[in-house]
Structure 1
């Protein structure tokens, strides 16, 4: 009837004697020290160098992209200028053709003097080209 003794402060509760000895030992916990200040500064310096390096590379990439855009724009301007030059060259050839010059001269009332005319160009073949054609 041990359950009557429980909770009664007047009665001494029987305690089992244990064969094991319990000893209390004080446990000391060693905490690991935090990172030293010099090592923290080293890490900060490395991160700073990496950020600066990535920033520099990014800046250079932007500059290269701008230069590439300017090159493409210049190429388009060159192509447009070449087309304009080709059309102007065609107009020059049309205006300087012999038949056109003779027609304008006839309209203005000019007369051709065969003694004063010297033809320079590919329209009048010379003796060497005539010899090659006849062979």
Structure 2
């Protein structure tokens, strides 16, 4: 009878009798250690990777520091521009002719008559004189 995958049709095998082994020896497999040259190669590779990683981290730290300085300079620049604008407005406010005239009157100065001329003496004193005579 042919066997076509049906276990019911497969003939039983007779167990083979083997003599029990007298002594079982277990084979111990020892792993070979890596040679010194290969260990040094691996150590050198790890050291190079660590140095490269350290350099990259160092460069990123420098870049971060530069960006921080740029931000601080920009902040200082913006503050200075704001102060300059405030000072420019104050200059414009203080330069108004009406305000200057009012301040001069408060200090006791008098406005010259446009028909009178001014002459400066030898000692530095200014004297107003009539130009219409």
Match of 1:64 in 2: 63
Aligned Cα root-mean-square deviation (Å): 3.2
Deviation at 1:86, TM superposition (A): 0.9
CA shift in 2, pair 1:19/1:109, >3 Å: closer
Q: Which runs of 5+ in 2 are unaligned?
A: 1-16, 118-133
1:93 maps to which residue? 92
Q: Which has the higher helix share?
A: 1
Q: Quick check: 1:75 aligned with 2:87?
A: no
CA distance in 1, matches of 2:96, 2:47: 73
Aligned residue pairs, count: 99
TM-score, normalised via structure 2 length = 0.57
Greater strand proportion: 2
Which residue is 2:105 aligned to?
106
Partners of 1:82 and 1:19 in 2: CA distance: 102
Cα 1:114/1:67, change in 2 over 3 Å: same
Q: What are the residue-to-residue correspondences of 1:1-135 with 2, within 5 Å?
A: 33-107=32-106, 108-114=108-114
Runs (4 or more) in structure 1 with deviation over 6 Å come to none
Shift, 1:54, TM fit = 0.6
Whole-angstrom distance in 2 between the partners of 1:109 and 1:43: 93
Query: What is the TM-score normalised by the length of structure 1?
Result: 0.56
Report how far residue 32 of structure 1 moved: 5.8
Structure 1, residues 40-73: CA drift from partner, whole Å, max 9, x if none? 1011001001011111111221222122122212
Q: Secondary structure of the residue that 1:114 maps to in structure 2?
A: coil
What is the distance in 1 between the residues matched to 2:65 and 2:91? Answer: 39
5+ residue gaps, structure 1, are 1-17, 117-135
